[in-house]
Amino acid sequence: MDITLITGASSGIGQGTAVEVARRGCGVIVTYNARRDRALQTVDQVEQVGGTAVALPLDTGRAETFPDFVAQVRQALAETWDERRLTGLVNNAGFARAALVEDTTEDQLDSLYRVLLKGPYLLTQALLPLVADGGAIVNTTSTAASHRLGLEPGYSAYAAMKGGLVVMTRYLAKELAPRGIRVNSVAPGATRTSLGGDAFTTHPEVIEPLAARTALGRIGESQDVGRVIAFLLSEEAAWVTGQDVEASGGFNL
Ligand SMILES: NC(=O)c1ccc[n+]([C@@H]2O[C@H](COP(=O)([O-])OP(=O)(O)OC[C@H]3O[C@@H](n4cnc5c(N)ncnc54)[C@H](OP(=O)(O)O)[C@@H]3O)[C@@H](O)[C@H]2O)c1
């Protein structure tokens, strides 16, 4: 059976992806950081579409915990599905913090680095022995890293990490190709999630201007992005690797 592990699936894009992957008949291991209750909601949503999910805690900023986490993943695979391998891995967990370059502290820069770049790098490395040959990896990047879309002041640190993840994706695609493992990333545009301290709920006035800059006339929903990630994990995308695929409804077209 196909099993995908999705980090940061207690909310937003990870949660949407878990449901979309389950709809396609895949078992799901979802991870959460602070919100176990929300991860259990993801498990419920997966079960509602006929799937099976297990929720595990993981702070992607704490690489020293990864060996224990890998052991928990092995155990979940064996006990829940009688499997030994993952067919999919989605490095999605993340948070956003905006500050101008002159106001960004070393601690802020380090925490973004640990969660958005070092975490996916070392977690992928730790999980690679469990990823089946012919499997697929998808990393969640961001349109914030794309110069073509116009830059917003305040995202230098966040976007630099996402840009690093785009480059890491390309190298992983090259290095894992001999095992038939495809590696791509998805760059969401503005998507209604709880990112940035639930910014779209606390500042709903930002939605309309973003929708106005989007060709399809609205901001994204988690499911919009989840479907693209599920596609890249699937056999339908068997000829796609090393790509950063924008899922933004045509932002700044
Ligand atoms: N929403 C957008 O507009 C947008 C645009 C471009 C890119 N993205 C990217 O999409 C990804 C998902 O974000 P989202 O928009 O879905 O936001 P979200 O609703 O806030 O979800 C973030 C998820 O990441 C988890 N997480 C946060 N810090 C973590 C840590 N240190 N270790 C492990 N997990 C952690 C959260 O877990 P808990 O809730 O359990 O703490 C949650 O499951 C992020 O990488 C983000 O940068 C989002």
Given a cut of 80, whether residue 148 has pLDDT beyond it is no
The residues facing 220 across adjacent strands are: 191
Question: Is 32 marked active-site?
Answer: no
Any idea what DSSP says for residue 79? I
DSSP notation for 114-173: IIIIIHHHHHHHHHGGGEEEEEEEEEE--GGG-GGG-PPTT-HHHHHHHHHHHHHHHHHH
Please give the share of the chain, as a percent, with pLDDT higher than 70.
100
Atom nearest to 39 CA in ligand 1: 40
Domain count, the chain: 1
Give the residue, by CA position, lying nearest to ligand 1 atom 42: 8
Residue 253 lies inside a defined structural domain of this protein = no
Q: How far is Cα 108 from Cα 102, in angstroms, rounded to an integer?
A: 12
Residue 84 lies inside a defined structural domain of this protein = yes
Residue 205 lies inside a defined structural domain of this protein = yes
CATH code of the domain in which 107 resides: 3.40.50.720
Residue 49 lies inside a defined structural domain of this protein = yes
Q: Which residue segment(s) compose the domain that 188 sits in? A: 3-247
Which of 95, 135, 141 is CA-nearest to residue 247?
141
Given a cut of 80, whether residue 117 has pLDDT beyond it is yes
pTM value > 0.95: yes
Residue 252 lies inside a defined structural domain of this protein = no
pLDDT tens digits for range 32-58 = 999 999 999 999 999 999 999 999 999
Q: How far is Cα 192 from Cα 11, in angstroms, rounded to an integer?
A: 11
Residues with CB under 6 A from ligand 1: 7-14, 32-35, 38, 58-61, 92-96, 115, 140, 142, 188, 190-191, 193-195
Residues 103-123 have a mean pLDDT of 98
Residue 169 lies inside a defined structural domain of this protein = yes
pLDDT at 121: 98
Residue 156 lies inside a defined structural domain of this protein = yes
Catalytic residue among 113, 121, 158, 171: 158
209 CA distance to ligand 1 middle (Å): 23
